[in-house]
Structure 1
Amino acid sequence: MTMFLEQTDDYFGNDLEEKMAPTNEKELADRGFVVPHFNSFGLRFRDYDVESMRQEGVENFYRKNHTYQCYDFVKKMREEYGKMNKAEMDIWKCCELLDGVVDESDPDLDIPQIQHLLQTAEAIRKDYPNEDWLHLTGLIHDLGKVLLLPAFGELPQWAVVGDIFPVGCRFDESNVHYKYFKENPDYNNPAFNTKYGIYPEKCGLNNVMMSWGHDDYMYLVAKKNKTTLPSAALFIIRYHSFYALHKEGAYKHLMNDEDVENLKWVHIFNKYDLYSKSNVEIDVEKVKPYYVSLIKKYFPTEKLRW
């Protein structure tokens, strides 16, 4: 992995994403994947209140996350990591770097992240064999978690993982562990604590600052490295952890028409991202050639700037 220090000054301009080709509604129907009733700990998925071996750690995570993820912090992180000067490496190498990373915010699974990526991608591949862009999206959607590693600043977990939410406007009560937002410096700021805050109605999520983490970082990496993945893939990568929106229906007043169109793909993806989590591991070497071929198809250069 090559490290370098080169600054990019023109990155945070207007994002003009390609529109997806019209999708046959039949393609959006539920496929063969059967949603399990219980996670790998024998509990219901995303149950943040039940006592379990991970519940206390998960709640402590969200206490820190909701306290420190304020507008100024997010702005600072986007400026710093938008430089793309942390590393130069290929995507599969990045997958391997996540082999030892466990997400402290996840109440459903405690296996290394590379297995979660492959479990998600393979479940999608089975049900959507012709949507190879969606297979690749499943593989790379969490790669931004490399922010936890020393070469990328070794950010604390509260600044990398967990549910994401808009900053610059009122925190919606549907956010998990909402009570901890009361310690956030933006909570009582009159510029940020109204329904719209600093944003116009239906401004589009692309114009909304989201809490900083692996979602936004991987989105920036993909855009900067000129991926040819469709806009729906980039939307999934950027907002797959935005559960207040796609599970609770919050913040829809900030969405534009393109967001509404792409959100249906997040709903499809979310089923595989959340419910494919299992302690049954994927044979990495067996599936590697297929995903390497997709990386070559949708990324113009082998080594990406991170």
Structure 2
Amino acid sequence: MKVAVGPDPSLVYRPDVHPETVKDKSSFRNYTSGPLLDRVFTTYKLMHTHQTVDFVRRKRAQFGNFSYKKMNILEAVDMLDELVDESDPDVEFPNSFHAFQTAEGIRRAHPDKDWFHLVGLLHDLGKVLALAGEPQWAVVGDTFPVGCRPQASVVFCDSTFQDNPDLQDPRYSTELGMYQPHCGLENVLMSWGHD
């Protein structure tokens, strides 16, 4: 079943659109007010409660062998017609639209980097896991390191981590947690999600 949408959101990227109808860039990623704030906050609250070291390790074991489903890129993009990202304060339309918007925006900004256009199209395809029965809090949203105290830059950091069990575990509740200084990003366990 396709998600019913209003006007085509890709209109914002078309050259004949009048500037007064385009959302101001400074109003994007507003996590303090807006019509979708309750939905966005709830998604991040669930994410920040349940994304633990143990959870991430289990999901990596479950999906890390890439055996969920075999499909081509356009099949995956088409699947995203049925997903509206509950963590995004800016959109109320299917993620497939966002994939094409991103690719088109990158193409306009970087016409000489065709590989980058493809990255824009692909960047959210991992969200198909939400259509495989995974809750959105386990798939969408911004990623962050697990196994250490969350940094202040994490969305809703001050109001959503209080029920995360890792923060009651002395191995994971300090600034570095389970990591050594300068260990390298390749050695950091990130929250599970589409990225």
- How high is the TM-score relative to the length of structure 1? 0.54
Instruction: Give, in whole Å, the separation in 2 of the partners of 1:170 and 1:64.
Output: 17
Q: 1:196-211 residue pairs with structure 2 within 5 A?
A: 196-211=176-191
Partner of 1:155: 134
> Cα deviation per residue 1:3-33 (whole Å; 9 max; x = unaligned)?
xxxxxxxxxxxxxxxxxxxxxxxxxxxxxxx
The alpha-carbon deviation at position 37 of structure 1 amounts to 5.9
Instruction: Give, in whole Å, the separation in 1 of the partners of 2:152 and 2:102.
Output: 29
Instruction: Give, in whole Å, the separation in 2 of the partners of 1:74 and 1:117.
Output: 25
Partner of 1:38: 24
Partner of 1:113: 95
Partner of 1:295: none
Gaps of 5+ in 2: 1-18
> Cα deviation per residue 1:30-75 (whole Å; 9 max; x = unaligned)?
xxxx9x7636xxx82121121x321111111111111111110001
Partner of 2:163: 183
Question: What is the letter of the counterpart of residue 185 of structure 1?
Answer: P
The alpha-carbon deviation at position 194 of structure 1 amounts to 1.4
Question: What is the letter of the counterpart of residue 64 of structure 1?
Answer: L
Instruction: Give, in whole Å, the separation in 2 of the partners of 1:176 and 1:103.
Output: 15
CA pair 82-205 structure 1, distance change in 2 beyond 3 A: same
Q: Percent identity?
A: 47
Q: 1:223-234 residue pairs with structure 2 within 5 A?
A: none
Partner of 1:267: none
Q: Secondary structure at the match of 1:210?
A: coil
> Cα deviation per residue 1:69-120 (whole Å; 9 max; x = unaligned)?
1110001000110122211111111111111210000001111111111111
1:77 paired with 2:59, answer: yes
Instruction: Give, in whole Å, the separation in 2 of the partners of 1:37 and 1:84.
Output: 37
Instruction: Give, in whole Å, the separation in 1 of the partners of 2:192 and 2:141.
Output: 10
Aligned partner (choices 118, 123, 140) of residue 141 of structure 1: 123
Instruction: Give, in whole Å, the separation in 2 of the partners of 1:64 and 1:124.
Output: 32
Partner of 1:100: 82
Instruction: Give, in whole Å, the separation in 1 of the partners of 2:160 and 2:181.
Output: 27
Partner of 2:39: 57
- Displaced runs of 4+ in structure 1, greater than 4 A? none
> Cα deviation per residue 1:174-199 (whole Å; 9 max; x = unaligned)?
21111211110011211011121111
Gaps of 5+ in 1: 1-33, 216-306
User: How many equivalent pairs are there?
Assistant: 174
For the aligned residue pairs, the C-alpha RMSD in angstroms reads: 1.7
